């Protein structure tokens, strides 16, 4: 079971002090939060992709490369990479590079995003959002698994004899999670490819996500990747922890009430009943998190949102201390004891290489020798007299 932190990269006014951090302050803070995530013994740090205020994470591959360089064991991921408005060729290249730089300590989550204006900013039509997601991932999947790709689709120019570079580390593509909060077609896509399905169930009632995850599990088994119970599922939710329940509620309430995402709506207590939001003592957060298995079955990754809604950096780091010291060790022990032997761990680069090659050396890629360059049309494999 993997435990970690994810951030939506919001820049939000602190409702207690009235101060709003700058972009530079938030970027610096998120790096410190990622380092603290490793320090307290968690497994994963993930950050989303946004191109509009009040968010700063427009280039998660760059940010995660920096974090990977500052850490030793932490797995870096996205939450989410936009499969609709990014060119799949660019995704293939950027995240294969991140895979190499992190020595395999990475994966990524793909999704359509939830900000409608992003589509025209990148020359796309939101009415084609779902077909874009399906077609673009089909191409991305091939780019990481085929050294030379011929491809033609509806939404981008064709490719002829194309090799994306660098090739995936050890000839194994990065593991992909498909994130969705509403669309069964994305769950179907994850199941078809045998990928992971991440249900970031921050807002919606558990019944909605139970249907989505159950559908994904059924289709995962249908496509022959394993039993429904062996499908790869991740969950997300926000937590706020204090030594006792009342302190947690008193401290978090002003941030909840003014949160741009879910503030000015239901009372915090009502929201806690309807969603995964956990506000309380370490034991209360443990108890709430353990109920997720009852609703969704055994799963492989649990991410917590802890820096949202204007919470100051010091408070976030204190939260991470409590999460790493008092919450996650108990959750690891309890969930491991409950997990049937047939349920797999979350995939890692090492496990994927082992599954593909066993003790053999990974295959070396064979790029298209006739691809040439875009200036002269010549190939580096052709007669060197051309450049003498």
Q: What is the pLDDT of residue 115?
A: 67
Q: Does a cis peptide bond (omega within 30 degrees of 0) precede residue 166?
A: yes
Residue 344 corresponds to which tokens in the numbers above? 């797999």
d(CA 348, CA 44): 11
Instruction: Indicate the burial class of 12 (C-beta count within 10 angstroms; 0-12, 13-18, 19 or more).
Output: buried
Domains of the chain from N-terminus onward: 2-387 (3.20.20.30)
Give strand pairing partners of 55: 10
Q: How far apart are CA 14 and CA 252, in angstroms?
A: 11
Identify whether 175 is preceded by a cis peptide bond (ω within 30 of 0): no
Read off the pLDDT of residues 82-131 as tens digits, 9 standing for 90 and up.
888 889 999 999 999 999 999 999 999 998 876 667 777 777 777 887 88
Helix, coil or strand: residue 355:
helix
- Summarize pLDDT for 302-360 with one digit per residue, the tens: 999 999 899 999 999 999 999 999 999 999 999 999 999 999 999 999 999 999 999 99
**Cβ atoms of 33 and 16 closer than 8 Å:** no
The per-residue pLDDT for 379 is 46
Within 10 angstroms of residue 143's Cβ, the number of other Cβ atoms is: 24
* Beta-strand runs (E) in 131-212: 149-151, 159-162, 176-179, 196-199
d(CA 45, CA 108): 11
User: What pLDDT is attached to residue 377?
Assistant: 45
pLDDT for residue 42 = 98
User: What is this structure's pTM?
Assistant: 0.92
- pLDDT score recorded for residue 128: 81
- Which stretches of the chain drop beneath a pLDDT of 70? 114-116, 201-203, 369-388
Rounded to an integer, what distance in angstroms lies between the CA atom of residue 22 and that of residue 341?
48
Q: What's the confidence (pLDDT) of residue 41?
A: 98
Predicted confidence at residue 125, as pLDDT, reads 78
Distance CA 211, CA 214 (A): 5
């Amino acid at each position: 079971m993997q435990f970690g932190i994810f951030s939506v990269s919001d820049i939000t006014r602190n409702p207690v002090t009235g101060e709003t951090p700058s972009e530079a302050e938030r970027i610096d803070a998120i790096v410190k939060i990622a380092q603290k995530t490793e320090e307290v013994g968690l497994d994963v740090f993930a950050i989303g992709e946004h191109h509009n205020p009040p968010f700063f994470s427009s280039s998660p591959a760059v940010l995660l490369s920096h974090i990977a360089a500052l850490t030793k064991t932490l797995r870096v991921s996205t939450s989410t990479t936009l499969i609709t408005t990014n060119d799949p060729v660019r995704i293939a290249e950027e995240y294969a590079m991140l895979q190499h730089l992190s020595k395999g300590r990475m994966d990524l989550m793909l999704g359509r995003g939830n900000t409608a204006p992003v589509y025209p900013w990148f020359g796309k039509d939101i009415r084609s959002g779902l077909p874009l997601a399906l077609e673009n991932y089909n191409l991305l999947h091939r780019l990481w698994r085929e050294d030379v790709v011929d491809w033609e689709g509806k939404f981008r120019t064709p490719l002829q004899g194309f090799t994306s570079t660098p090739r995936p580390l050890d000839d194994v593509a990065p593991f992909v999670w498909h994130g969705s909060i509403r669309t069964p077609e994305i769950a179907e896509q994850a199941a078809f490819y045998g990928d992971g399905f991440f249900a970031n169930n921050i807002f919606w009632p558990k019944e909605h996500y139970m249907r989505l995850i159950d559908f994904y599990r059924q289709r995962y088994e249908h496509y022959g990747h394993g039993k429904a119970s062996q499908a790869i599922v991740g969950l997300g939710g926000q937590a706020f922890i204090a030594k006792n329940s009342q302190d947690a509620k008193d401290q978090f309430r002003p941030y909840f009430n003014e949160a741009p995402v879910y503030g000015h709506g239901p009372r915090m207590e009502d929201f806690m009943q309807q969603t995964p939001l956990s506000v309380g003592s370490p034991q209360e957060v443990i108890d709430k998190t353990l109920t997720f298995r009852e609703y969704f079955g055994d799963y492989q990754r649990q991410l917590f949102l802890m820096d949202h809604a204007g919470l100051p950096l010091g408070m976030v780091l204190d939260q991470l201390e409590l999460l790493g010291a008092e919450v996650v060790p108990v959750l690891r022990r309890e969930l491991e004891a409950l997990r049937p032997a047939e349920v797999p761990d979350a995939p890692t680069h090492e496990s994927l290489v082992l599954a593909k090659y066993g003790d053999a050396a990974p295959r070396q890629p064979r790029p298209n020798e006739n691809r040439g360059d875009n200036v002269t049309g010549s190939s580096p494999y052709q007669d060197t007299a051309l450049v003498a």
